[in-house]
Amino acid sequence: MSVAVETKRVTVPEIRARKNAKPVVCLTCYHAHTARLLDAHVDLMLVGDSLGNVMHGLETTIPVTLDMMIVAGKAVMRGSKHALVVVDMPFGTYEESPQIAFRNAVQVMKETGCQAVKMEGGSRIAETVHYLSERGIPVMSHIGLTPQMFNVFGGFKTQGRTEAEWPAIEADARAVAEAGAFAVVLEGMAEPLAAKITRQIAVPTVGIGASAECDGQILVMEDMLGLNPNPPKFVRQYANLGPMIEDAVKAYAHDVRERRFPGKENVYSMKKTG
């Protein structure tokens, strides 16, 4: 029996086929209203664990839980019909073994309806990438600056600034691409290294603070909209919504204090009786 599907989402093979082709447009998204606004304009929405910083005011993504990701994943799926939705696997839910990663990723996919998951790490999780990909869970990899390794790196440090670091990072990219990742996020990486990796691997690279030569780009939506008072240096701001929100709230507060709100248009009329 076939069930009619109203709209067709972008698929994992379609993203995979964008290697050396039309750049893949990606943004993070954590909630339904913004998902609806982004949907027609992006190929891929990432429910990133950066929601820990953006939505919850956390310093790092380390405290983010599977439940936090699932709540946001469901909201983004409800708000969108077109873009491919990828949900991040948070710290501690996939590193221990391929089997544990599989179980947690299955929960994410069943409960949210998303089409893929993302996991940080290169060679050290290549086996897990393979295990999941072989069992119906498409994986987007994430290498370079991996925020879940904050405590190991001692901060958020750009990767590959000396050529001596390059071979290990290139090996990471090759390992996850060969293990079956359908795309690889390159974050916070020296530009020539990101460009080199993009030429070397057979799947699309998606850059964030990396290189314009990547096969696609991703930004944290709140950073590019001007909602983050301290955005990373590489972010181009496409709007400045922070002051607009403040002005709107100021105007509302003024109206309330002056008893100008609600105006007549907002008052429910009385029901006629008798």
What is the contact mask toward ligand KIV in residues 4 to 33, using x (rule: CB under 6 A)? Answer: ------------------------x-----
Cβ neighbour number for residue 52 with a 10 Å cutoff: 23
Q: What is the DSSP letter of 121?
A: B
Region 209-268 residues binding ligand KIV, contact defined as CB under 6 A: 218, 220
Binding of ligand KIV at residue 115 (CB under 6 A)? no
Instruction: Mark whether 213 is an active-site residue.
Output: no
Q: Is residue 48 at the binding interface for ligand KIV, with CB under 6 A as the rule? A: yes
Residue 122 contacts ligand KIV per CB under 6 A:
no
Nearer to ligand KIV (CB atom), residue 24 or residue 252 = 24
- Contact code string over 51-90 relative to ligand KIV, x by CB under 6 A: -------------------------------------x--
Which phi-psi region, left, alpha or beta, contains residue 30 (left: φ > 0; alpha: ψ -120 to 50)? alpha
In Å, how far are 10, 44, 96, 121, 266 from 41, measured between CA atoms? 12, 9, 37, 29, 34
CB 120 within 8 A of CB 181: no
| Separation CA 57–CA 146 (nearest Å) | 19
Give the residue numbers marked as catalytic. Answer: 187
| Positions in the binding site for ligand KIV (CB under 6 A) | 28, 46, 48-50, 88, 142, 185, 187, 208, 218, 220
